[in-house]
Structure 1
Amino acid sequence: ETVIGGSDSLPGAWPWQVSLQYNFEHKCEGSIISNNWILTAAHCLENYNSWKVVAGLNERHLYEWSTQIRYPIKFILHNKFKERTVENDIALVRLDSPLFFTDFIQPICILNQKVEEINFTNCFITGFGVVSSAIDNPIFPPVLQEAEVNLIPKSVCRKSNWNGKSVTDKMLCAGYKEGGIGACWGDSGGPLQCFSEKKRRFYLVGITSWVKNGCALPGNPAVFTCVSSYFYSFISTNATGTYTVDNKHEAHSSVCLEKATQLSISNTCPLVGIFDDPSIIPSVTEMHDGKAVE
Structure 2
Amino acid sequence: MVWILGLILSSLLPTEAHQQVFLPKTTARALLSRQKRGNFLLEELRPGNLERECKEETCNLEEIREVFEDTAKAWEFLITYPAFKNACVSSPCWNGGTCHSGVDEYNCTCRTGYSGRNCEIAEDDNCASNPCQNGGWCQNSATQYKCSCEIGYHGQNCELGPVDCSSHGQTCDHFCKVQHGTYNCYCAQGYTLGEDEKSCIPEVPYPCGKVMVASSIDDTDLILRAIDGDQQCKRGEYPWQVLLKNDNGTVCSAVILNKDFVLTSADCVNQLHSFTVIVGEHNLEVDEGSEQIHNVSRIYIHSRYSETTFENDIALLKLETPIEFNNYTIPICLPEADFAEFFLMNSEYGAVSGWKQEQGRIHQPVLLGVPYVPYVEFLKCETLQHFLIVHRMFCAGFEELADPLCYLTRGSPFVTKYRDVWYLTGMSLGAKEYDCRVIPVYTKVSRYINWIKKTMSRSVLGT
TM-score between the two structures when normalised by the length of structure 2: 0.47
Q: Separation in 2 of the partners of 1:205 and 1:184?
A: 18
Q: Which residue of 1 aligns with 2:455?
A: 238
Q: Which residue of 2 aligns with 1:268?
A: none
Q: Which residue of 1 aligns with 2:15?
A: none
Stretches of structure 1 lacking an aligned partner (at least 5 in a row)? 242-281, 287-294
SS in 1 for 2:422: strand
Q: Which residue of 2 aligns with 1:31?
A: 255
Q: Label 1:8 to 1:186 Cα distance change in 2 as closer, same or farther (>3 A).
A: closer
Q: Separation in 1 of the partners of 2:391 and 2:332?
A: 23
CA contact (8 A) 2:250 2:272 kept: no
Q: Label 1:180 to 1:87 Cα distance change in 2 as closer, same or farther (>3 A).
A: closer
CA RMSD in angstroms, aligned pairs only:
2.6
- Report whether the alignment pairs 1:227 with 2:438: no
1:190-245 CA distances to partner (integer Å, 9 max, x unpaired)? 10011113xx20110001105765444xxx2111111010001x10011128xxxx
Q: Which residue of 1 aligns with 2:282?
A: 58
Q: Which residue of 2 aligns with 1:179?
A: 401
Specify the code of the residue in structure 2 equivalent to 1:128: W
CA contact (8 A) 2:385 2:435 kept: no
CA contact (8 A) 2:249 2:361 kept: no
Stretches of structure 2 lacking an aligned partner (at least 5 in a row)? 1-225
CA contact (8 A) 1:171 1:226 kept: yes
CA contact (8 A) 2:353 2:408 kept: no
- Report whether the alignment pairs 1:120 with 2:358: no
CA contact (8 A) 1:238 1:285 kept: no
- Report whether the alignment pairs 1:202 with 2:422: yes
1:133-178 CA distances to partner (integer Å, 9 max, x unpaired)? 6x6x98711210011211111111001xx11551111011111133
CA contact (8 A) 1:121 1:196 kept: no
TM-score between the two structures when normalised by the length of structure 1: 0.72
CA contact (8 A) 2:352 2:373 kept: yes
Say which one has the larger Rg: 2
- Percent identity between matched residues is 27
Q: Separation in 1 of the partners of 2:250 and 2:233?
A: 17
- Match among 71, 87, 95 for residue 311 of structure 2: 87
Specify the code of the residue in structure 1 equivalent to 2:410: S
Specify the code of the residue in structure 2 equivalent to 1:117: F
Higher relative contact order (CA 8 A, sep 6+): 1
Specify the code of the residue in structure 2 equivalent to 1:204: L
Where does 1:141-290 land on structure 2 (aligned, <5 Å)? 141-147=364-370, 148-159=372-383, 162-164=384-386, 166-180=388-402, 182-185=404-407, 187-197=409-419, 200-209=420-429, 210=431, 214-216=435-437, 220-232=438-450, 234-240=451-457, 285-286=462-463
Q: Separation in 2 of the partners of 1:57 and 1:157?
A: 32
1:27-83 CA distances to partner (integer Å, 9 max, x unpaired)? 100000000100000000113332111111110122222111101111110011001
- Report whether the alignment pairs 1:48 with 2:272: yes
Q: Separation in 1 of the partners of 2:376 and 2:242?
A: 26
Q: Label 1:213 to 1:171 Cα distance change in 2 as closer, same or farther (>3 A).
A: closer
SS in 2 for 1:69: strand
Q: Label 1:180 to 1:221 Cα distance change in 2 as closer, same or farther (>3 A).
A: closer
Q: Separation in 1 of the partners of 2:349 and 2:230?
A: 15
SS in 2 for 1:203: strand
Give the length in aligned residue pairs: 232
Q: Label 1:31 to 1:138 Cα distance change in 2 as closer, same or farther (>3 A).
A: closer
CA contact (8 A) 1:18 1:57 kept: yes
1:79-123 CA distances to partner (integer Å, 9 max, x unpaired)? 110011111000011111000000100100012225441153541
Q: Label 1:26 to 1:63 Cα distance change in 2 as closer, same or farther (>3 A).
A: farther
CA contact (8 A) 2:356 2:365 kept: no
1:186 positional shift: 5.2
CA contact (8 A) 1:211 1:221 kept: no
